[in-house]
């Protein structure tokens, strides 16, 4: 073939970024590929909006099938997002023998197995670097550069919207609601921010990273998920006084026969590099048995950074095409017959340190009662803050526990919450003191 031909489904923000790479860096792409590469068709239902880029006549179409069934096209980029029609289009393109590049984390996390099985049967590649961490090359790091390592953990800040909100709350001492509004006004949060702020987007991403790192299937529905909507300025302030920052952390750990895959607000020591990842930036910490810990940092979203990741995949597939390599890198980084189905540890069984903020009546013996309940379940207190009275008759008591099993914490809290000295529900935030 003299020219690699590419088709694009979805001409939204990232699609526009892809067009910009093709146009601005055309010569560079050729020089790095040693062949011509061309974007020949772009399909989107909206063909009238001005995206600030001009396509040659005949490239833009409303008909996705015209891209999928074009016999000249080698690679189809899917940037529609969501489950349907993206999934059907990808399956049809695979059946038509096209290689696929997608940024669709939700689709890959939930329907990845079906798509990968179809791709394997057809002998085509599916690449999805842009699905996790925007422009950060985390998936190729796992599948290629670091593939000689056994990974013990992968942890990260994987959602720019949440990280922007938590950073602002920390810097300004503000509560969640006004900062979310500011993030929406600035275009960092969607009008319906649910997927981001409830941790769904982060859970999709860590499900993919856990599967890639540990060579296992990860059932997305079993990924524990807690968003940032309940984080208050008060908790951020107390965390700061204890030397911690609160981040929405995605955590996957390998225990051999079981794995942990979870997403929740997490307190991390403010001396950790991850604690310094602020604003819309993302970072992923990977620990391999030979390489040790590594940290990848960069723009986790946005038109240009995400287009960079998409185009990296397009170039990788193009190089394989040119060299005649076929499925050089397995889609999930392991030969499919070696992909395991490891059990995801129940949250009851995880072991962590815990930040607990009780709201109690300011009376003698209250602290002793709480400490007694915790002690009954073998939970040891590491440190404590009891600030000046905040509200009439009600005062916060903030405890940091030593390492404890989550089931014991929950049982102790159930009893504490029933005490008549407790005036509001207790806030619990898990603490990650050992990144592995």
Interface with ligand HSE (CB under 6 A): 159-161, 196, 201, 300-301
* Rounded Cα distance, 181 and 4, in Å: 44
How far is the C-alpha of 301 from the C-alpha of 130, rounded, in Å?
9
Give whichever of 159 and 170 is closer to ligand HSE, judged by the CB atom. 159
Indicate the residue among 15 and 160 with the shorter CB distance to ligand HSE: 160
* Phi-psi category of residue 134: left, alpha or beta, with phi > 0 → left and psi -120 to 50 → alpha: left
Phi and psi at 278, nearest 5°, equal: -120, 170
The whole-angstrom separation of Cα 167 and Cα 277 is: 9
424 with 394: CB under 8 angstroms?
yes
Task: Give CA angle at 101 (99, 105), nearest 5°.
Answer: 135
Closest contact distance (angstroms) between CB of 212 and ligand HSE is 16
In angstroms, give the least distance from the CB of 300 to ligand HSE.
Answer: 5
Least gap, CB of 131 to ligand HSE (angstroms): 8
Contacts of 313 (CB under 8 A, 6+ apart): 101, 127, 128, 129, 130
By the 10 Å C-beta count (0-12 exposed, 13-18 middle, 19+ buried), 393 is classed as exposed
Letter string b/e over residues 103-125, b meaning 16 or more CB atoms within 10 A of that residue's CB:
bbbbbbbbbbeebbebbbebebb
State in angstroms the smallest separation of the CB of 22 from ligand HSE.
22
User: With respect to ligand HSE, which residue has the nearer C-beta, 10 or 215?
Assistant: 10
The nearer residue to ligand HSE, 201 or 432, going by C-beta atoms, is: 201
Alpha carbon distance 153, 253 (integer Å): 4
Closer to ligand HSE at the Cβ: 61 or 229?
229
- Minimum Å distance from CB 10 to ligand HSE? 14
Give residue for tokens 């399956």: 91
Spatial separation of the C-alpha atoms in residues 113 and 101, rounded to whole Å: 16
Considering the complex, what minimum distance in angstroms separates the CB of residue 159 from ligand HSE?
Answer: 4
Catalytic residues: 205
Task: Give dist(CA 43, CA 66) in Å, integer.
Answer: 8
Provide the strand spans (E) within 300-391. Answer: 343-344, 351-361, 381-385
Determine if the peptide bond prior to 371 is cis (ω within 30°): no
Which residue, 163 or 401, has its beta carbon nearer to ligand HSE? 163
Contacting residues for 93 by C-beta, under 8 A, at least 6 apart: 67, 68, 76, 78, 100
* Distance of closest approach, residue 82 Cβ to ligand HSE, in angstroms: 13
Which of 333, 341, 283 minimizes the C-alpha distance to 149?
333
- CB of 181 or CB of 326, closer to ligand HSE: 181
Nearest approach in angstroms of CB 208 to ligand HSE is 11
Q: Which is nearer to ligand HSE, 108 or 350 (CB)?
A: 108
Pick the closest to residue 86 from 55, 50, 51, 110 (CA basis): 110
């Amino acid at each position: 073939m003299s020219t690699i031909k590419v088709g694009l489904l979805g001409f939204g923000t990232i699609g526009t970024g892809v067009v910009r790479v093709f146009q601005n860096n055309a010569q560079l792409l050729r020089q790095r590929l040693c062949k011509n590469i061309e974007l020949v068709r772009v399909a989107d239902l909206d063909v009238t909006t001005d995206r600030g880029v001009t396509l040659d006549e005949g490239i833009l179409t409303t008909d996705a099938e015209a891209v999928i069934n074009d016999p000249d096209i080698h690679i189809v980029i899917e940037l529609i997002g969501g489950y349907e029609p993206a999934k059907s289009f990808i399956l049809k393109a695979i059946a038509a023998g096209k290689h696929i590049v997608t940024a669709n984390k939700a689709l890959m996390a939930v329907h990845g197995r079906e798509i990968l099985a179809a791709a394997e049967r057809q002998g085509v590649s599916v690449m999805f670097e842009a699905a996790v961490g925007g422009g950060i090359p985390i998936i190729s790091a796992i599948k290629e550069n670091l593939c000689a390592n056994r990974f013990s953990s992968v942890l990260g800040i994987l959602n720019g919207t949440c990280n922007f909100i938590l950073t602002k709350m920390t810097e300004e001492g503000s509560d969640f609601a006004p900062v979310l509004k500011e993030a929406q006004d600035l275009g960092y949060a969607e009008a319906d921010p649910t997927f981001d702020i409830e941790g769904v987007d982060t859970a999709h991403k860590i499900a993919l990273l856990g599967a890639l790192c540990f060579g296992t299937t990860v059932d997305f529905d079993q990924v524990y998920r807690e968003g940032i909507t309940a984080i208050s300025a008060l908790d951020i302030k107390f965390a700061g006084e204890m030397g911690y920052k609160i981040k929405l952390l995605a955590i996957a750990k390998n225990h051999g026969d079981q794995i942990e895959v979870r997403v929740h607000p997490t307190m991390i020591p403010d001396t950790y590099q991850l604690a310094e990842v602020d604003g819309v930036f993302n970072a992923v910490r990977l620990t391999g048995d030979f390489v040790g810990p590594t940290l990848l940092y960069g723009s986790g979203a946005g038109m240009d950074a995400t287009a960079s990741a998409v185009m990296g995949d397009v170039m990788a597939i193009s190089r394989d095409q040119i060299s005649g390599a076929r499925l050089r890198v397995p889609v999930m980084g392991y030969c499919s017959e070696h992909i395991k189905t490891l059990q995801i540890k129940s949250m009851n069984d995880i072991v962590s340190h815990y930040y607990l903020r009780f709201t109690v009546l300011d009376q003698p013996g209250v602290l002793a009662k709480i400490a007694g309940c915790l002690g009954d379940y073998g939970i040891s207190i590491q440190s404590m803050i009891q600030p000046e009275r905040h509200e009439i008759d009600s005062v916060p008591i903030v405890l940091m526990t030593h390492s404890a099993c989550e089931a014991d914490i929950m049982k102790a809290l159930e009893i504490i919450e029933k005490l008549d000295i407790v005036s509001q529900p207790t806030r619990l935030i898990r603490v990650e003191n050992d990144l592995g």
